[in-house]
Structure 1
């Protein structure tokens, strides 16, 4: 028999810093109330105060904190959410009625709106890489902005500064570790929430949604580079929603084209082709960065799906559009489509088609246009070059080159997109070559342990 709940007294809101703490967020998501209550008590809220706020005897609060008693009843979980002011989404609940009148799970710190503190929290969460707490922190930030798209509140961010920040992020990593770049980007993205939550003039709302789409899309790009496939897709969905609301069809097309690169790089080229064609339809026939990117990505998808005619047609369209692009659209940023980026896409598509001569030409041109700090791009081009060597019959050289690339990568890049592309090369090597020394060396550096062998 369960005890009858006490009538809850006044709420005892947990400190804002705790709602942004990865350990607390993880405990809430897992409904680990022993850890959750322990953290709340460590934050200075007594068992008596917790019990009064959630309608529970202090003795039971202590037992739950010590994992001597559990919490499973839905009404109790709801009382905990309401009494401690824990946003419903953290506990797997619908948004609570009081959330319309209170900050969500990235609230203002106790000392006011402190973007620098939030940035430090994100950097700390990402310091060890894309761990579960780090991904939870990123997800919470994204969901807070998702909620704000339809909420009402008070604006506090400077839109012009955020637009400038989005433009700066568009120039890419600039030699930074991807996780450091990601922490700063998501911290600035979180500053959009109060602007989104405020009733704005139409023109201002359009600008806010546009920068939200850009920042969410670039966050997805970084997550994709780091190999976090499902998280990248969730951020792309947020970016697409913001782009649609902004009315910027070119941004919407760019988001879909970039999203198509997720299934391209994770073994689902048909799904990628569908997304790329959707992007092409939204972008329209005019020579824009989004239209050119969508055509180039479609070419890669079709080439990997063994549809050479469609791939070559898309390549021709991409080249035609590229030749007609305005100078502003040819800038070397993530949100535009410069010559370097164009040749990176062509390198992958032509390599997959087996057109190794043209692929090498694109690889060489892309390398000439790539900054020395472009670790990700240069590594992908090197793996493409290795794949060309394999297609031309020199599998041993292909393996040596790929091992050199992987061995020389900084730790932040070793488990993401470059690793996946190298694995694609390994799987393309026929089984009869798997006992050769060079192939075994590639297998070792990939950490396959002999698994995942796929004969073409």
Structure 2
């Protein structure tokens, strides 16, 4: 937040609160108002905790809670400073426990404000109270035994209500692995026809009560499927729906507590604003992914840095783009890239695709040409859209080195080589980027007109 006061300001408020006996909520509210920070941060400052001390306290209270979200300093900082990034409901519940307040008290929306719970001397059942909302226990060992047995029976029935075995879950994940490979070579519209029924089945299972471990695995599957759906919609130019599905994917990934998946989904989501704008959102999403993946030498960490690099380059932030390129290469050299035929892997050819975009917009045409040639060799006869994107970036570099006819020939050939169902709005937008860098007086040449005619053909949008 703007105009944030120094840490000493919150110290003064905390001392005043201690002298006057303020409750924690009042202290936090005073710090939030005085220091222009969120209530979530104000509660931490009201206790005089550092980020790491708050994280340690959270881990202590959530240690024995199945499915509790993992927390680190970076994630807590994001929640404290970015109103668009909110923890999930069950994590809010744990934060309420941590700070002994309500969700409203944290500026979120559980209530764990300390209260004195009266001891009931009259323990006769009250007909106005249902078993699901409260339990009143009658005096005498026989009555207590009946309540204990009934409650245990109800809990056992709930625990036995799980509808999926681990074998079934393994088979579900095997089908997902097949879909991830199929995604790389299938046009968006028929691919959606495969993905949506699969997600329907996952949600039907997840809607039933499942053990925590199963529920987390279902959330992981949901995150991957939602990401692929969002990506397909992005290719088709259906931006509103793509944006909504990416948000769903992020929620599912956060629910899974899988840090690598949380980062991966955000890096993937950065593609939408990279291609369609605003670029600031592409930078923010890829940077958030990089922060989550930090200190891990993984393909996802390299992907996040590469995504940030090309967004920064296109935004014109040369220095930070070059630093992100260096980081992406360094991390990738220490990472395991995964199966190149998996849409959720990040093989060398995809790293080079992202570096091609960064180098193209940095104006490093010689290095971009070297990277593009290497990437196209690795793609070979791959039938997806990535080789076409590389050819279009080759064309942009050729225009900038004043090889206009060659640039238009490459762009036109790459665009038309795909079957109509893979000639999507995204590719049309990238091909128009080639036309956009051609000087206006040169757009009337036969090569430029031929590219324009190709782009006038219908695209696959549904």
- TM-score, length basis structure 1: 0.61
Residue 255 of structure 1 aligns to a residue whose secondary structure is helix
1:445–1:326: structure 2 CA closer, same or farther, 3 Å change rule?
Answer: closer
Moved more, 253-262 or 375-384: 375-384
Please list, as runs of the form range in 1=range in 2, the aligned pairs for 1:203-282 lying within 5 A after superposition: 203-282=213-292
Which residue of 2 is the match for residue 444 of structure 1?
Answer: 453
Consecutive unaligned residues in structure 2, runs of 5 or more: 1-160, 458-462
Aligned pair partner of 1:363 in 366, 372, 386: 372
Which residue of 2 is the match for residue 420 of structure 1?
Answer: 429
Which residue of 2 is the match for residue 354 of structure 1?
Answer: 363
Which residue of 2 is the match for residue 309 of structure 1?
Answer: 319
**Matches of 2:239 and 2:182, distance apart in 1:** 19
Q: In 2, are the aligned partners of 1:272 and 1:298 still within 8 Å (CA)?
A: yes
Q: In 1, are the aligned partners of 2:183 and 2:343 still within 8 Å (CA)?
A: no
Residue 407 of structure 2 aligns to a residue whose secondary structure is helix
Instruction: Note the C-alpha offset of 1:170.
Output: 2.0
Moved more, 154-163 or 290-299: 154-163
Instruction: Note the C-alpha offset of 1:330.
Output: 6.4
Instruction: Note the C-alpha offset of 1:340.
Output: 1.2
Aligned pair partner of 1:345 in 349, 354, 363: 354
**Matches of 1:162 and 1:416, distance apart in 2:** 32
**Matches of 1:233 and 1:322, distance apart in 2:** 28
Q: In 2, are the aligned partners of 1:154 and 1:197 still within 8 Å (CA)?
A: no
**Matches of 2:255 and 2:362, distance apart in 1:** 38
**Matches of 1:176 and 1:375, distance apart in 2:** 7
1:352–1:370: structure 2 CA closer, same or farther, 3 Å change rule?
Answer: same
Instruction: Note the C-alpha offset of 1:362.
Output: 1.6
Which residue of 2 is the match for residue 401 of structure 1?
Answer: 410
Which residue of 2 is the match for residue 387 of structure 1?
Answer: 396
Instruction: Note the C-alpha offset of 1:257.
Output: 0.5
**Matches of 1:372 and 1:331, distance apart in 2:** 14
Which residue of 2 is the match for residue 191 of structure 1?
Answer: 201
Please give the root-mean-square deviation of Cα atoms over the aligned residues, in Å: 2.1
Instruction: Note the C-alpha offset of 1:292.
Output: 0.9
The answer as to 2:177 corresponding to 1:167 is: yes
**Matches of 1:215 and 1:415, distance apart in 2:** 20
Please list, as runs of the form range in 1=range in 2, the aligned pairs for 1:62-141 lying within 5 A after superposition: none
The answer as to 2:438 corresponding to 1:429 is: yes
Residue 170 of structure 1 aligns to a residue whose secondary structure is helix
Residue 427 of structure 2 aligns to a residue whose secondary structure is helix
Q: In 1, are the aligned partners of 2:188 and 2:236 still within 8 Å (CA)?
A: yes
Instruction: Note the C-alpha offset of 1:177.
Output: 2.9
Instruction: Note the C-alpha offset of 1:172.
Output: 4.3
1:371–1:394: structure 2 CA closer, same or farther, 3 Å change rule?
Answer: closer
Q: In 2, are the aligned partners of 1:264 and 1:272 still within 8 Å (CA)?
A: yes
1:367–1:312: structure 2 CA closer, same or farther, 3 Å change rule?
Answer: same
Instruction: Note the C-alpha offset of 1:432.
Output: 2.0
Consecutive unaligned residues in structure 1, runs of 5 or more: 1-152, 449-456
1:297–1:385: structure 2 CA closer, same or farther, 3 Å change rule?
Answer: same
